[in-house]
């Protein structure tokens, strides 16, 4: 059984390794199970350990109340106090022997990067009869240039102007793929594409048969995505070997998936 001293040392080592690798704010919360001398404090070893890595414990009320017993076991410790407000302890209708902790956490989300694809024209929707009529009424027919180079310039100018009128240049914005695509298998990627294609078909036709095909594709895609995720993290955990710090990082990523560009909240 781990003692409060051992637990505090291991926890602070993990927090120290995180703070050494990034400059993000840190929040640690959960049941530390290290009661202090009174019902408004945690164990001295834990308190000193959190303080040594620059974390402030924000809970000052007992979080477990039993007949004749009250302890502070659950913590909310942060490196930047200004990011966490309204910390409260609630009985939560006594559904557990532990109280419910709630808080407002300020999270900074980076603005998603938008990539712009090459410009294009929707040539298929051009009214060819109207386009031909406008072309015949242009200077190419009424006042054609006599010099070859001038005529080429004339063609370029007139056709560009007509295309701008009948098929304006468009630019498509595209967000970068989510991180999930980095570990999806080829089968999962193919299943996602099929799911999207069948969804578009069903929304266009409204057919019950197309809806059934789409829902079947959804189940297949979800199954393959889950398999890919499981295989990915299994291989990463196995690759850590006996390095428990690396294994903890992988497990933490699995349980609390987040963008590394975001705050650690």
Greater model confidence, 126 or 5: 126
Q: Are residues 16 and 88 in the same domain?
A: yes
Q: Are residues 79 and 22 in the same domain?
A: yes
Domains in the chain: how many in total? 3
In a domain, 260, yes or no: no
Contacts 24+ apart (CB under 8 A), 125-134: 125/167, 126/166, 126/167, 127/166, 130/166, 131/162, 131/166, 134/162, 134/165, 134/166
pLDDT (0 to 100) of residue 15: 82
1-7 average pLDDT score: 77
pLDDT (0 to 100) of residue 260: 42
In a domain, 265, yes or no: no
pLDDT tens digits along 183-220: 788 898 899 899 989 999 998 999 999 989 998 998 89
Q: Reduce the secondary structure of 16-35 to three states and give it as a string.
A: HHHHHHCCCCCEEEEECCCE
Per-position DSSP letters for 91-154, written without gaps between them: -GGGSSSBPEEEEEE---PPPPP-EEPPPEE-GGG--HHHHHHHHHTSHHHHS--SSHHHHHHH
Q: What is the CATH number of the domain that holds 58?
A: 3.60.10.10
106-118 average pLDDT score: 70
User: What is the pLDDT confidence band of residue 75, given thresholds at 50, 70 and 90?
Assistant: very high
Name the domain boundary from 129, 147, 170.
170
Q: Are residues 125 and 92 in the same domain?
A: no
pLDDT tens digits along 120-156: 888 888 999 999 999 999 999 999 998 899 999 999 9
pLDDT (0 to 100) of residue 259: 45
Name the domain boundary from 148, 170, 192.
170
User: What is the pLDDT confidence band of residue 52, given thresholds at 50, 70 and 90?
Assistant: confident
Q: Are residues 130 and 53 in the same domain?
A: no
Name the domain boundary from 83, 105, 127.
105
In a domain, 191, yes or no: yes
Q: Are residues 23 and 75 in the same domain?
A: yes
In a domain, 261, yes or no: no
Element (DSSP H or E) covering residue 89: strand 84-90
Q: What average pLDDT does the structure give for the chain?
A: 83
pTM score: 0.44
pLDDT tens digits along 228-242: 888 888 888 888 887
Domain range for 129 is 115-170
Q: Which of 75-79, 107-111, 135-139 has the lowest mean pLDDT?
A: 107-111
């Amino acid at each position: 059984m781990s003692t409060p001293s051992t637990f505090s040392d291991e926890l602070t080592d993990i927090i120290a390794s995180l703070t050494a690798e990034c400059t993000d704010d840190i929040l640690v919360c959960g049941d530390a199970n290290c009661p202090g001398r009174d019902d408004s404090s945690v164990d001295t070893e834990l308190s000193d350990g959190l303080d040594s890595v620059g974390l402030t414990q924000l809970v000052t009320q007992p979080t477990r109340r039993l007949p004749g017993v009250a302890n502070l076991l659950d913590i909310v410790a942060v490196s930047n106090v200004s990011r966490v407000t309204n910390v409260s302890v609630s009985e939560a209708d006594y559904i557990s022997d532990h109280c419910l902790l709630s808080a407002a956490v300020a999270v900074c989300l980076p603005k998603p990067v938008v990539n712009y694809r090459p410009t294009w024209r929707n040539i298929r929707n051009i009214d060819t009869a109207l386009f031909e009529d406008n072309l015949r009424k242009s200077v190419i027919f009424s006042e054609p240039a006599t010099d070859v180079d001038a005529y080429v310039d004339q063609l370029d100018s007139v056709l560009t102007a007509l295309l701008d009128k009948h098929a304006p240049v468009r630019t498509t914005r595209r967000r970068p793929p989510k991180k999930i695509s980095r570990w999806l298998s080829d089968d999962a990627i193919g299943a996602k594409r099929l799911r999207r294609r069948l969804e578009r078909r069903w929304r266009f036709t409204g057919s019950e048969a197309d809806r059934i095909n789409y829902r079947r594709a959804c189940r297949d895609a979800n199954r393959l995505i889950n398999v890919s995720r499981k295989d990915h993290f299994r291989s990463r955990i196995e690759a850590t070997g006996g390095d428990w710090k690396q294994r903890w990082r992988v497990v933490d990523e699995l349980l609390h998936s987040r963008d590394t560009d975001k705050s650690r909240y």
